[in-house]
Structure 1
């Protein structure tokens, strides 16, 4: 909508400009013209249209804090109205608390509107200004006397004491609050662009997370951004100091609150989210009363739901920032008490990371060290280590328990050297009190696991530490210590004690030990059976461990799903299919996701397993669908973005590239290569992926040049097979048959030991043609060549040309030598239909005649 200005303009939230607070406005005025570029709210316009179209009198309550766009919404809606309506806009102010003066203003108003002989809309703007009971009675009489085909719109910052409950029961009330008014991503983008900026996705997310679509602060933020050359830095500053864009609108909200409600908001602003129980711990006010009055006074609240915690509430980020700043300035001792209360509550709720936030806010090193020791394992096993390190920062990095947790996290990442370094670092402080022996046992347990994954000698002194310590009271810590004690016994030749300790560790699952520790214990029981030579029991225990992992959603854990991902990729490269009743197959087809604390999601299975599952799913059919290819690319790009592991993540690049190219997703292929290059640089996997793209678009020479740079380097077997096979394709397309045969033989030689077949299927048409011309000899066996050919036939070797099922039938008929008319009669279709399919065949096979089509199809194994 174009910008407009007049003496009655509004600029985004509030009354028309130029209106004096102590001088009554005229009886009524037309809707104000707007001095801002309005972002269309079609959903709300449709809601308002539907209400205004009703025959019976109806009421619309728009109640929200200052600057949320109430006036803008109604004014723009009325400006867009095409129906013939009589419109009156009444702006209320402090002077309207004089009931007689208000009655003078509205007397005869309905009579005039009713006599217009058409539907009417009356807007009561700034209705929160009227608080006098008699004056409110005047407004109620005005609303109650509304004629048919009339609509009353009440816009306010705080809900006035009008009989809205009765209207709601009568079915004549429509309510619009701040959540409905909140601007979304499209509107936020348009406002920022209006002031000459364009934000990236992450910056826009941060801006929306801060403002939650609150119109006035969002526009002020856009104005501030227009004065900065670094939007990301400017947004980061706003997140740290949001008062710059919200001081007025938040003050307008908080200053109008009764003392008890403001005190409650300040107390609960200490935490990000709270439920009724936590709120009662933090403040003595009645939660039910607060919930009711919070809505009446228009204080924006956000909701957070989770299966574990149920529904929790939190204040709008801008409200919370102002409230926290206020209480810190006025009563720091109360702030300290609130933090301790919150820390205790979150520990009892099994949310140690949130509890730790409050202890960090207090700066209590002893309490932080004890919490990290007794409850930090839960945080690490929950996969939230980065949050933990960011929370503790450099200030607490050298506390003994924090170093132990860093060692544990390094062990979980299979980095024994880093773990050893953290464990060996000198103490900056000593763990004191009744947890000192638990700290010693934790350090001993870490030294055992470091020895196992690092291939070093088992530390014999760890046994003494285990024997001397008693239970710590933390199920997770006691389970971890018992688990590593059992491992030490196992590798020191005492399997009976190891079995006993593992069974003790399993029993701690009944008192709350982390499922990941239980899974690891089950895996260690399987290993113990293997060490003692009981392979049957080992297999049974491993199967049970996988079932436990599936049942408990532990698909992102190294003990279960690094193996599962390896099984999946082994199945994939051999072009096999997992049995439908396989636990890994069940996980692959369900691919569950978990929600992070910020609301985004990640695969429960972990990034590597997600890609492996998507690859296997994409190759269950002749050609991957667009959705399947997009699932592969999303999974891989997500993995590369979240922190890939060199030597593991990179092996997924070329298989994913084959699927993406097979589905024709060229833009996605470019994104995958860009992400991979950013993550790893120009490693062979990235170079081969680039060569695959060049071949796909017909730039054979460029593909050959790329392959020449990596072909003779030490490569992962699957990558080496793919590189040599692509080299053979290049040579064949350049009519260098001898070079093609040499490269193909090398690819077959490398593929045969592990039965690697998928690279041949990824370029099936070329592979079929190459195999048809393969001379006898070579290091590969004839049996493997036959195996590859059979896989090509099973998987439909002609998928690269993209032949449809009907085209394949017509191709077979063309090979019989029949005339097209005869083929049409045989297939019960028209002659023109057969001609169309034949033309499509010629185009896809890149031939000009029937003879060439039959000859090419024969070479490619399509017939």
Structure 2
């Protein structure tokens, strides 16, 4: 037995006893008849049941059958009540006598009329209402119908004299659906049941037919997820019970609107070429004909009904579907949502309309914001090389630039820009659309300028955009703030690359302060990352860290995927970690930056990566790798002064570490003479070459620059201290080291003291310098001072097990995970488990670090 008694609905019918009229109305197959039959079977009093399909033979026939139903239910009726003598009419006297008989009853009779929607004659409805009114408490009428009955329900509702169970209440709940499936031997996870309820909208017949079909499948769960509605008995049911019962013009409308997710009368008229869609849709909704109304004149089809209608449309009119999508796209372009416009235009293969909508609505920035990247990428992936218009070229350029295909993107962009030149504009072009298209082109020009390191081109794009903003409707700019935010981001990045730090900071700050709209989240992240880099380049690591952390935190909270902002922020955090001699953390952050980078051709990110990688390699003592990182070319239209200065500084430091001071001096002499980082490194090189006077002159040129931050000041002070020491001025040397310690302590800058060389160690053991260094650069008492580079290893968090030591010994022999597993006769996963545990106990996260720590602790 697969019938499910639904107590909540039965209870609703029980609570309806005080009202003379109950109406149960819902779609075909909603379970109306079974519900009322189940409820009626449990009644103690008489229940007369009539199916109203006889009503089409006339009101006389209807009342004759109703009287017979009363007698069959053992309701005694006097002989004098009479009987209709003609199929098409019934005398009022008979109705009066019947009402009087019912009114005299002590126990009311329940009269159920099923399929009352077939009683289309208003005369029957009027007669039935008359009897109901005159019968008083002697009759309770229950109408089971697909549509609202012709009775004046508004009066009953106003008087509280009617109980209604509508289509929405008849829908199966999640728990009821799970119970129904279980009765069919199907026990599914709640998520699968929920998906089926959503697809069927809880429609009783749909759920039961799905369950019956799934019983015959080897994998019922998979079937219920993937079944094609048009290939099931559901299709037969809906076509027969819903579609074919409609008039031909209504059938045509239903088939045409099936291509739409939602529709209003005007849109339906656009697809049908008619003008009466409002009347037809209203009637379909009132008939519960699987047309759902969800407010503001908008409707939608039941999901299964829509699937079946679309399949039926393809069979009946195979060429019509694309044309309907095209009509829908053109109507929605003027009056609907962008997403629906794009979907229908793509379904029609009308790429010019799709691209025109995306560009004309200023939505092309969404390809880069992360909010709709996958949707837009998938939608336009089918667009071939035709047609060619400014809009289609711009969309192709945007997709190629987003994939870092700069060469092809620039080609498309040039062609679009040429077609959009004022001399090529058509008099028929809509001015607002044309301005929006040109602004979209300026946006992509700014991006291309950023990717190619062409700041002049970025400024031209910014100027063009500023003029066009006044020609574009304000509603578009408000709807898509990401376009201007991203454009300014690209301009700011290009200015930073050019070394125009103040101008870059101004435009980047404008974006960061623009508000918290989700659409501009990625642009704000990128700008914060660039501002963090500016602070780092200027020698302010603490400020840089705060901005970078804000960027990464924002990215973690938000929905956009990793982007250049978070990647750049991770690079800045890695650079700060190097300055603080937190090398493992720096390496981890550097790897995170590589994983997060979505625009690898962005020169700012590329240069930042080379610089940080070089500094980390220097700190690790790998001078060759540092030189390779510094020599890593970033090919752009214009060289960046700060990028060249910092990479030269890394290379010079590597040469110094390998004992080639003259090479370092020569290298830095080729760089701009106003870059503080180069001046400090050049002073170090001159000092190493035995020219303290030249070193002092270079340092003098650093001091007047008040905007230089502590990271540069500390290094300059340490070099100056070394110069003073070489000249025998011990007091000045101590004073300068003390100054460096005070500046560095606030920022926790340890690396400059490690890089300074062995001359510094004895000084740090003296008073008062020792007091300035203890607790952050040197361990505090009682263990005594030790050099920062010789800090005692941290203790093991937990004792290593014997098997973990076995694994570490083999790790030290450069054995692979597979080789260790074979040697110990265990699985690879077991080895990985031991390694993970050993890493945790040793406070490391890499193999060679684990071996090094184990050796330091005497475990190997």
Structure 1 length-normalised TM? 0.51
1:279 to 268, 276, 292: 268
Map of 1:124-523 to 2, 5 A cutoff? Answer: 124-148=113-137, 151-200=140-189, 203-239=192-228, 241=230, 243-283=232-272, 284-303=274-293, 312-332=298-318, 335=321, 337-349=323-335, 351-363=337-349, 377=364, 380=367, 383-388=371-376, 396=382, 399-400=384-385, 430-432=386-388, 435=389, 466=417, 469-470=420-421, 473=433, 477-486=437-446, 491-494=453-456, 496-504=459-467, 506-507=469-470, 510=473, 512=476, 514-523=480-489
- Consecutive unaligned residues of structure 1, counting only runs of 5 or more, are 4-35, 401-429, 569-573, 592-602, 613-643, 650-748, 756-770, 786-863
1:101 to 60, 64, 67: 64
1:700-735 residue CA offsets vs partner (Å, 9 max, x unmatched): xxxxxxxxxxxxxxxxxxxxxxxxxxxxxxxxxxxx
1:514-541 residue CA offsets vs partner (Å, 9 max, x unmatched): 3221110232344355456665554453
Match of 1:553 in 2: 518
Partner Cα distance (1:646, 1:183) in 2 = 50
Match of 1:698 in 2: none
1:169-213 residue CA offsets vs partner (Å, 9 max, x unmatched): 433223322222111221222222222223345543442233111
Partner Cα distance (1:342, 1:540) in 2 = 45
Match of 2:576 in 1: none
The answer as to whether partners of 1:554 and 1:560 remain within 8 angstroms in 2 is: no
The answer as to whether partners of 1:463 and 1:488 remain within 8 angstroms in 2 is: no
Map of 1:22-61 to 2, 5 A cutoff? Answer: 36-42=2-8, 44-52=9-17, 54=18, 57-61=19-23
Distance apart, 1:247 and its partner CA: 1.9
Partner Cα distance (1:462, 1:257) in 2 = 53
Residues 1:328 and 1:586: Cα distance change in structure 2 (over 3 Å):
same
Asked if residue 92 in structure 1 is aligned to residue 30 in structure 2, the reply is: no
1:13-51 residue CA offsets vs partner (Å, 9 max, x unmatched): xxxxxxxxxxxxxxxxxxxxxxx3315352x44543433
Partner Cα distance (2:107, 2:137) in 1 = 10
Match of 1:628 in 2: none
1:37-84 residue CA offsets vs partner (Å, 9 max, x unmatched): 315352x445434332x3xx4322111122101123234445677xxx
Residues 1:464 and 1:158: Cα distance change in structure 2 (over 3 Å):
closer
Residues 1:518 and 1:135: Cα distance change in structure 2 (over 3 Å):
same
Partner Cα distance (2:434, 2:7) in 1 = 53
Partner Cα distance (1:353, 1:338) in 2 = 17
Partner Cα distance (1:50, 1:236) in 2 = 38
Match of 2:510 in 1: 544
1:310-337 residue CA offsets vs partner (Å, 9 max, x unmatched): 6631111233233334444444565554
The answer as to whether partners of 2:20 and 2:139 remain within 8 angstroms in 1 is: yes
Partner Cα distance (1:566, 1:147) in 2 = 82
Match of 1:418 in 2: none
Distance apart, 1:431 and its partner CA: 3.4
> 2:136 aligns to what SS in structure 1?
coil
Partner Cα distance (1:214, 1:526) in 2 = 56
Residues 1:86 and 1:604: Cα distance change in structure 2 (over 3 Å):
farther
Residues 1:461 and 1:140: Cα distance change in structure 2 (over 3 Å):
closer
Residues 1:133 and 1:527: Cα distance change in structure 2 (over 3 Å):
closer
The answer as to whether partners of 1:482 and 1:501 remain within 8 angstroms in 2 is: yes
Match of 2:89 in 1: none
> 1:155 aligns to what SS in structure 2?
strand
Distance apart, 1:369 and its partner CA: 7.4
The answer as to whether partners of 1:196 and 1:226 remain within 8 angstroms in 2 is: yes
The answer as to whether partners of 1:94 and 1:129 remain within 8 angstroms in 2 is: yes
Higher relative contact order (CA 8 A, sep 6+): 2
What RMSD in Å do the two structures reach over aligned CA positions?
A: 5.2
> 2:242 aligns to what SS in structure 1?
helix
Match of 2:490 in 1: 524
Match of 1:636 in 2: none
The answer as to whether partners of 1:99 and 1:134 remain within 8 angstroms in 2 is: no
Distance apart, 1:117 and its partner CA: 3.4
The answer as to whether partners of 1:302 and 1:316 remain within 8 angstroms in 2 is: yes
Partner Cα distance (2:117, 2:130) in 1 = 17
Residues 1:250 and 1:205: Cα distance change in structure 2 (over 3 Å):
farther
Distance apart, 1:165 and its partner CA: 3.4
Distance apart, 1:219 and its partner CA: 0.8
> 1:162 aligns to what SS in structure 2?
coil
**Mean Cα displacement is larger for which, 517-526 or 326-335?**
326-335
The answer as to whether partners of 2:229 and 2:304 remain within 8 angstroms in 1 is: no
Structure with the greater alpha carbon radius of gyration: 2
Partner Cα distance (2:408, 2:340) in 1 = 38
Partner Cα distance (2:409, 2:262) in 1 = 46
Match of 2:574 in 1: none
Residues 1:558 and 1:123: Cα distance change in structure 2 (over 3 Å):
same
Partner Cα distance (2:214, 2:173) in 1 = 18
The answer as to whether partners of 1:59 and 1:173 remain within 8 angstroms in 2 is: yes
The answer as to whether partners of 2:332 and 2:340 remain within 8 angstroms in 1 is: yes
